[in-house]
Chain A
Amino acid sequence: MERPKLGEFLVARGLLSEEQLSRALELQQRSRERLGRILLALGYVRRQELYQALSQLWGFPFVLLTEERPDPRLLRRWPLEEALRHRAIPLRLRQEGTLLVAVSDAPSPTLESALKAHLGVVNPLYLVTTEWDVDWAIREFYRKPLLDQSVYALYYRSPEESAYTVFTPGQYLALAAGLLGTLLGLYLWPRETLILLNLLVNAFFFASVAFKFAVSLAGALAERHTPVTEEEVRALKEEELPTYTVLVPVYREANVVGLLMRNLAGLDYPKEKLEILVLIEEDDPETLEAAKAARPPANVQFVIIPNGQPKTKPKACNVGLLFARGEYLVIYDAEDQPEPDQLKKALVAFRKGPEHRVCVQAALNYFNWKENFLTRMFTLEYSYWFDYLLPGLDRLGLPIPLGGTSNHFKTEKLRELGGWDPFNVTEDADLGIRAAMRGYTVGVVNSTTYEEANNHVGNWIRQRSRWIKGYMQTALVHSRKPLRLVKQVGIRQFLAFFLLIAGTPLTFLLSPLLWGLFLLWLLTGTQALEPYFPPFVLYLSLFNLLLGNALAIYLNMLAAFKRRLYALAPFALLNPVYWILHSVAAYKALFQLFTKPFYWEKTLHGLSKQEAPHLEPTP
């Protein structure tokens, strides 16, 4: 006798109306998604009812894992990876040798082979439970391995790529040798040593200016080619859309989580193919309660991150990555407001791009740019970074340091890369270079996520010091074996990486010294500095002073113009004031690198008095 179909079964049981079924079937026709997922996404059936119906259709009993707790001895032999891969939890071994296994998907032969391999069982008895029950059970009963996996996976696999060790002995030695050499030089040949230091600093600034100009020019040229057009997005067929996972790490953000639900609901992507994992720390019940109170849609799942050090965003994301079911994955922050068609655009960018493209980065910008001086300057900076610098790096085939959010990944490739480094406080920038080391590339996509710009100096310095510290960590990690890195990524990419990642903190650390010298000379007219500025150093420093600064101002101005933020363009002239804040943050970052390297300076969100505009999907 033919097994009844799920929809008819549910209708017969009075759990679904005929109209609802025909609507769901119509959607299924378009999206080719499983009917169960569609029904859940539409909110027509409750999860437990659906899985109870499935259990009857498949001929297996139903079980709730919160009531039927698994045998810990079995779990010890059933590794976390298998539990995640098959979403299956062995519950109990009966005396006659039958193993009760809770599953949320129809059992497959590969699951049977895995059970046999790990537990030596040949006759399992399956019990059906909801996928959320399985995920909950994994988090509950695999707590330690989960924590271990999310924190140390990268370190165990390739310790030299992890920021767990801040300085290697070789780096300490090099640092000490450099310091001693400088001191010795200052003692024996003070003038020559100071000239050499001056030359090195100015040569670095010169290289940095030339590099940024070349990349920005390439970025400006990229404007002539739209990575993904509206037509290409419209041409996407719904049935060909893959499952997409959205990871949203939140911590102490009860005040913005409601907004998050609204923004995520605005994504133009079939709900049944969208898996939203809100990653909430165990010690943050307020955010969890607020998130529940916001009545999230059925495709939103809360993933509680086990408490443990380091308490960082990348650790939470690593947990999320373990549970992600999507073929593609993206990260958003709690206050993020992505343009509705961003997922589709990213998908087109992946499909158009080369096979080795593992990530595409969307632009970030701010909705509260008009709020005060700081938000204006921050918006200018982000407009330049995401609209000129990253597209330029993309166009030149150079490694792209990912931005904190809106980076879209091929999930499997991300797992292959080892996820994020939880000890690196700019895990995203680090991931960009790790991708390049394995021959993968990162692209950019012409879609924007609007965020809340920091509107408070203290909060801004906290956030920026974390970013700069992360850049320092990343530079230190990847300078451990420079020759190997050159071999892996190529000399051009290597230089670009260091000019950007090591160059950014170095610029902010050194520029107060140069500005100080300039102001001293300007105000006092002293000739005491002349011996340390022989002609070639003088010309270089004048070039940096005049052209370097002007260029930085101009590129910011241009970025505001391109974004049509016309009122912002004149504010670019005030950049030197903003750079002072960068230098303050850089010195704080340097201090923390030695004292609290893994400390995550939390940025407070929800401080803006301006409401985020609601973005409508393109019709």
Chain B
Amino acid sequence: MSAVTAVSLKERAAALVEVCSVRLGQAWFGVPINHIVEIVGSARPQPVPLAPGYVGGLVHYRGDVLTTVSLRKLLGMPLVEGVQDVLVLENAGICFGLLVDSVGEVLTVSSADHEQNPPTLDERRGALFAGAYKLEGRLLVMLDPARLDPVRLAA
């Protein structure tokens, strides 16, 4: 019994995950790095009139026009003036952008520290978050790229 626990603990300890941290106001969120195609700094998205609320506008990316999702709008935070960073994410073969205030460092976290969304989290946010990592002194709330896909948000 104890042997089994040891093995599973060992396995869990070995599973290290690289997470890119993004800042939104005072809060930090994490995005699994394997979903990030590229980080485009200081973009000014072109607004799309009549677009759904979560759409942050369009940005020009590698000759293509990328639809971005504004994390501020999604989380119901007040919008800020000025440039924002764009994370180019890939989901199911389609790229989209995620607008955040700024991109921070890449953290290596252990999956052992991961916890699911608490049941008390409100439903709207719970649908966007994929649990959190318990870091020293703070929690890093994870965003789920698949759930941020504008096509999925539209559905």
B partners with A: no
